[in-house]
């Protein structure tokens, strides 16, 4: 029994002037409706007329104000064309993502050709306007055509990304240390004794240099590092000169325990007598990054940390892995740096050849590889090194650095003749403050100031 019924009517329809036309599909099915819409759209597209051949549809509803010449027919066709375009838009919306991908593929195929106009901008914008990816991420399928692209590494681009991450690029700070290090370490707020909590930094490099010189020697190679910081809940403390070191430490601990993440101490006097200085104490070392991102670093770890601080937020935003090389400049006689990160797919990435890629950058020697993982379908699994990650590091005999979905920066150090059994350590975090971040005193002298 068919799922319809006949309804009696009080008149007899006249089919005298009608004829039946056979079709090759069911016009009442869902597929049939879509096919009918496409057929009508195609037939309308073929019937569109241009120029002098446009048929007369009457005078325009709104005058053109004399902007068009008397002989043009465009003004008279507005109502007819607008109706057809509005109808076609409904069908076009159904195919936005596919059209965006096809247009992007065409752009890649014509890359570099003179006179070629990119086709993907319109569909890509339309797709972004009509599709909603979860948590602000770009749909994974649309990212596949981005594979192999490199992030711009000029200073302006790097600083723009740092600003987007919340770092104060307009306020460089200086940290004086008696030795070289890969990244600053924060003193815990409950550390024993009267060690100043957090990481101390100066706005004046001369103040930082005082502490570097006092704590270092020719053997330890003291350093002054230029850093950027970010803070969501900063506060300030003004000194009048009568405070003891213990009172200042207590005030800092109280501020951090109350939820502040940075404290500016005003009217500070350095041990060497530099007066009326402002210094900043940052609670968590993960709220700091080297200001010279992409340039030179004292260690391979420092270069890898800078690379992952720069790229991991972008990796998580787009749901794509990135990878690159850490290298030792000038055939191993210079400092360290990293190659620009290359985009991969949602599940893989390539840092480049371990010999040629570093060699093409300042005659570098491979010092390791860095890459990111995205959340994917199993965030817990992607938080760790894969077996392939470890095997690649083992075969090269060089460290592997990982920017995880949580923001944690890991280091895998291979052990000779022990496949996949290398040591995994935590170097820092790309997402700001973290309760899991390492915190240890850099010294035990207990003096107040940049350390």
Predicted pLDDT of residue 10? 62
Is the pLDDT at 362 greater than 90? The verdict is no
Predicted pLDDT of residue 11? 57
Predicted pLDDT of residue 387? 95
Predicted pLDDT of residue 277? 93
Is the pLDDT at 350 greater than 90? The verdict is yes
**pLDDT over 70 percentage in the chain:** 60
Assign a CATH topology to domain 294-429. Answer: Cytidine Deaminase; domain 2 (3.40.140)
Q: Kindly state the average pLDDT of the residues 26-53.
A: 48
Q: Kindly state the average pLDDT of the residues 280-294.
A: 79
Q: Kindly state the average pLDDT of the residues 34-54.
A: 47
The tens digit of pLDDT for each residue in 246-286 reads 999 999 999 999 999 999 999 999 988 899 999 999 998 87
Predicted pLDDT of residue 12? 57
Q: Kindly state the average pLDDT of the residues 20-30.
A: 55
pTM (2 decimals)? 0.51
Is the pLDDT at 437 greater than 70? The verdict is no
Q: Kindly state the average pLDDT of the residues 29-49.
A: 48
Predicted pLDDT of residue 180? 77
- Give the start-to-end residue ranges of the domains of the chain: 31-52+77-103+122-131, 166-289, 294-429
The tens digit of pLDDT for each residue in 120-176 reads 444 444 444 444 333 344 444 444 444 445 667 777 887 888 888 888 988 999 998
- Cα 369 from Cα 374, distance rounded (Å): 17
**pLDDT over 90 percentage in the chain:** 35
> Mean pLDDT score of the chain, rounded to an integer?
73
Is the pLDDT at 353 greater than 90? The verdict is yes
């Amino acid at each position: 029994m068919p799922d319809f019924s006949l309804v009696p009517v009080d008149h007899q329809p006249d089919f005298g002037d009608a004829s039946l036309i056979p079709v090759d599909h069911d016009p009442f099915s869902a597929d049939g409706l879509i096919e009918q819409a496409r057929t009508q759209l195609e037939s309308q597209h073929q019937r569109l007329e241009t120029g002098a051949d446009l048929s007369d549809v009457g005078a325009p509803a709104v005058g053109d104000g004399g902007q068009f010449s008397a002989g043009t027919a465009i003004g008279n066709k507005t109502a007819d064309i607008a109706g057809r375009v509005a109808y076609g838009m409904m069908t076009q919306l159904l195919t936005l993502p596919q059209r965006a991908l096809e247009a992007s593929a065409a752009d890649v195929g014509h890359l570099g050709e003179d006179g070629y106009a990119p086709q993907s901008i319109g569909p890509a914008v339309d797709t972004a306007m009509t599709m909603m990816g979860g948590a602000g991420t770009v749909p994974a399928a649309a990212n596949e055509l981005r594979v192999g692209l490199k992030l711009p590494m000029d200073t302006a681009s790097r600083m723009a990304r740092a600003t987007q991450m919340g770092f104060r690029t307009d306020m460089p700070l200086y940290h004086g240390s008696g030795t070289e290090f890969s990244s600053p370490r924060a003193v815990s707020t409950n550390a024993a004794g009267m060690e100043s909590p957090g990481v101390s930094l100066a706005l004046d490099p001369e103040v930082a240099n005082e502490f570097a010189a006092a704590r270092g020697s020719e053997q330890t190679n003291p350093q002054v590092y230029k850093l950027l910081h970010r803070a969501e809940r900063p506060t300030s403390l003004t000194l009048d000169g009568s405070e003891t070191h213990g009172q200042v430490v207590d005030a800092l601990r109280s501020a951090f325990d109350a939820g502040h993440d940075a404290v500016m101490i005003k009217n500070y006097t350095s041990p060497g007598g530099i007066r009326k200085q402002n210094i900043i104490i940052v609670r968590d070392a993960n709220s700091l990054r080297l200001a010279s991102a992409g340039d030179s670093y004292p260690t391979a770890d420092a270069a890898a940390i800078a690379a992952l601080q720069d790229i991991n937020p972008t990796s998580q935003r787009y749901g794509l892995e990135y990878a690159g090389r850490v290298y030792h400049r000038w055939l191993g006689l210079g400092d360290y740096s990293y190659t620009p990160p290359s985009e991969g797919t949602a599940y893989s990435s390539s840092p480049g050849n371990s010999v040629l890629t570093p060699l093409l950058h300042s005659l570098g020697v491979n010092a390791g590889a860095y890459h990111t993982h995205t959340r994917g379908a199993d965030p817990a699994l992607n938080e760790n090194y894969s077996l392939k990650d470890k095997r690649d590091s083992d075969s090269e005999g060089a460290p592997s650095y990982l920017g995880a979905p949580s923001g944690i920066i890991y280091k895998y150090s291979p052990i000779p003749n022990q496949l996949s059994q290398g040591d995994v350590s935590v170097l820092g975090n790309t997402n700001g403050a973290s309760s899991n971040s390492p915190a240890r005193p850099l010294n035990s002298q207990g003096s107040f100031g940049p350390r």
